Structure 1
């Protein structure tokens, strides 16, 4: 009951603020109309006069969006008109229809206040004044309670209308939504392709590496078993032992590329330190992240660094690698990998394409700067939200 009362009070305060803003918006609309009326036949003058009007309209839309979110728990999407410099016609239409709704909210509040007054008088009026017509006072009390009920329903209705109006007129543009859907479909397709490429690479590594080692191991053990020369059999067993060690190392490498256990056990920083230790080239790691990261973000950041370090070692002819993991003021994770190699990396290559798909799946961006002669810099921006 207390929570409901607090919610009703918060909604009432929000509508009261909306009444004040509606009055200001009405005055601005009248003033803008009065200024534009003499300029209807002068397009240049009309556009010049509309610039401050649309700037003020965008401010009002942002104010109304903040009021709806703070007092009525109505959050507009980040791409709503008024959050950027586009959508001038949308914000003007919204304000033209918002001020009557704000005044309607004020009428509802007045009805609620009047009903509250009647109810309070019916409850305590007997103690402060002489009642000559108690029947009328009793009926007035019931009327006050009914008006309070209507006001509560009216507040809910006005808030719903405000939400629909805001979403309808200043919500994300339909073309923006379609573009977003296409982007999500493309990123999903890219992730599926990246997964298939990763599976083929794992299969190739197992077939060309571990499987060949195991075949050689079996042949060595078979020769040692059939040999009648103890010295030769001992040499073959030594070779088989070395081959089994190499097969185990390659198997661990494949498992590490699939998903390193240290990433789950100790976090991203420890996993990247392992990448730096395993690299044949010196790797300088800078890790400055002031917030905990979710597993998806850590996994993508790890594979960006791991794939880039592998590419540098194999193809770049570099002597050192610099890796940086930081977070910016916007709340995004910035992953950077830089080398002093020959450059000329193809962003459309298989490895970088797979990384771009992983990054796009998290709504991030991947940029590759690799001019001929070097150096090569890979930068990924991953939103933490």
Structure 2
């Protein structure tokens, strides 16, 4: 809920800035059109005017690209032509005005929807029916304004991508770079996983087995029956500990419950094993495919392990929900924050998500909370 509110606030800020920029874009579009119309029959003059108009258009367009990148998370190309920037601005100002209208409608709706609070506090209710209708109408207008703001933000992104790129070739080049990087990340993740398994076996199970062998050897050489019995008991305890640690290693490599009972059961097991209270909200109606389920499981498992070790949190909330052709994983803890997204653990999670061509984001301000979100594409 908090993540949705922050996203809405970010989009609203982007729309407000877009509305402010309309004050420069609308006069520019009108004056540019008039200037080009005056030199329409003069080829040389038209080229000069068009060049200067395009230069100014690129300046205004760069401001919009920065706004789109920060507030709408929309990536565009910096190789667009000047005429494309002029075409973009000739339409963009309309969306700026539309954004101002929907935000104004939301504010008016919020005012009318909450007016009953002020009347109850500072005045006498004389017409309760009218007050109720006004409040309901205001809340409905607020709902429409908020929904429309998301729609206008989507139109802003689509307009920018259409006129400002990236081009098909640039998109292919970026895609090749992303695939090469994700492939390298997968290879590195596999190697890291192998080193971790080797370390767990060497420091845990192998040491237990060495101690077990030594105890059995001493028991065989001992001529004291009581001493031999004591050594055999110790050997039995060591074998139990070795078996437990071996199961832990196997579980960290891949939990069999994921194949036998599905993702929900595997995540419930993570919640049961967690040293911190964990609340799981599982909203998937159908079981995702094996690759997505595996990444979702390890994403939650590793994030919970990191929170237990470093965050000092008292509660971890995990939400797994369906998205648009994707699975959304949201992990939040109420710890001290300050998690480094480039650190070993979180960077490994990012590589796992990137291997599925998904999106991974970490938000961990000092003082908390730490929020990890991932979008895993699926058929």
In structure 2, what is the equivalent of residue 104 of structure 1?
none
* 1:365 aligns with one of 359, 365, 372: 359
Provide the C-alpha distance between the structure 2 equivalents of 1:49 and 1:177, rounded to a whole number of angstroms: 26
In structure 1, what is the equivalent of residue 263 of structure 2?
268
Provide the C-alpha distance between the structure 1 equivalents of 2:163 and 2:314, rounded to a whole number of angstroms: 54
Q: Secondary structure at the match of 1:86?
A: helix
CA offset digits 1:228-272 (Å, max 9, x no partner): 222222221111111111111110111111111111111110111
In structure 1, what is the equivalent of residue 224 of structure 2?
229
C-alpha change, 1:52 and 1:235, in structure 2 (3 Å) is closer
In structure 2, what is the equivalent of residue 148 of structure 1?
none
Q: Does 1:86 align with 2:80?
A: no
In structure 1, what is the equivalent of residue 254 of structure 2?
259
Provide the C-alpha distance between the structure 2 equivalents of 1:219 and 1:307, rounded to a whole number of angstroms: 35
Q: Does 1:384 align with 2:352?
A: no
In structure 2, what is the equivalent of residue 284 of structure 1?
279
Runs of 5+ in structure 1 lacking a partner? Answer: 1-35, 56-81, 91-170
Q: Secondary structure at the match of 2:209?
A: helix
C-alpha change, 1:39 and 1:252, in structure 2 (3 Å) is farther
Q: Report deviation, 1:297.
A: 0.4
In structure 1, what is the equivalent of residue 234 of structure 2?
239
Provide the C-alpha distance between the structure 2 equivalents of 1:381 and 1:308, rounded to a whole number of angstroms: 15
Q: Report deviation, 1:50.
A: 4.7
Provide the C-alpha distance between the structure 1 equivalents of 2:370 and 2:222, rounded to a whole number of angstroms: 55
TM-score (norm 2): 0.59
Q: Report deviation, 1:84.
A: 4.8
Q: Does 1:310 align with 2:308?
A: no
Query: Is the 8 Å Cα contact of residues 88 and 163 (structure 2) preserved in structure 1?
Result: no
Provide the C-alpha distance between the structure 2 equivalents of 1:241 and 1:176, rounded to a whole number of angstroms: 62
Query: Is the 8 Å Cα contact of residues 191 and 354 (structure 1) preserved in structure 2?
Result: no
C-alpha change, 1:221 and 1:334, in structure 2 (3 Å) is same
Q: Secondary structure at the match of 1:241?
A: helix
In structure 1, what is the equivalent of residue 185 of structure 2?
190
CA offset digits 1:258-287 (Å, max 9, x no partner): 111111111110111111111222211110
* 1:319 aligns with one of 301, 307, 314: 314
Q: Secondary structure at the match of 1:313?
A: helix
Provide the C-alpha distance between the structure 1 equivalents of 2:294 and 2:277, rounded to a whole number of angstroms: 23
Provide the C-alpha distance between the structure 2 equivalents of 1:302 and 1:37, rounded to a whole number of angstroms: 62
Provide the C-alpha distance between the structure 1 equivalents of 2:253 and 2:247, rounded to a whole number of angstroms: 10
Provide the C-alpha distance between the structure 2 equivalents of 1:336 and 1:88, rounded to a whole number of angstroms: 34
Computing the radius of gyration from Cα coordinates, the structure with the larger value is 1
Q: Report deviation, 1:83.
A: 6.0
C-alpha change, 1:226 and 1:89, in structure 2 (3 Å) is closer
C-alpha change, 1:339 and 1:83, in structure 2 (3 Å) is closer
Query: Is the 8 Å Cα contact of residues 262 and 287 (structure 2) preserved in structure 1?
Result: no
C-alpha change, 1:49 and 1:295, in structure 2 (3 Å) is closer
C-alpha change, 1:51 and 1:280, in structure 2 (3 Å) is closer
Provide the C-alpha distance between the structure 2 equivalents of 1:332 and 1:343, rounded to a whole number of angstroms: 27
Query: Is the 8 Å Cα contact of residues 305 and 337 (structure 1) preserved in structure 2?
Result: yes
Query: Is the 8 Å Cα contact of residues 332 and 371 (structure 2) preserved in structure 1?
Result: yes
Q: Report deviation, 1:376.
A: 1.6
In structure 1, what is the equivalent of residue 341 of structure 2?
347
Provide the C-alpha distance between the structure 2 equivalents of 1:373 and 1:237, rounded to a whole number of angstroms: 52
What is the aligned length? Answer: 245
Query: Is the 8 Å Cα contact of residues 54 and 88 (structure 1) preserved in structure 2?
Result: no
TM-score (norm 1): 0.58
Q: Secondary structure at the match of 1:337?
A: strand
Provide the C-alpha distance between the structure 2 equivalents of 1:50 and 1:320, rounded to a whole number of angstroms: 51
Query: Is the 8 Å Cα contact of residues 191 and 361 (structure 1) preserved in structure 2?
Result: yes
Runs of 5+ in structure 2 lacking a partner? Answer: 1-35, 41-45, 58-82, 93-156
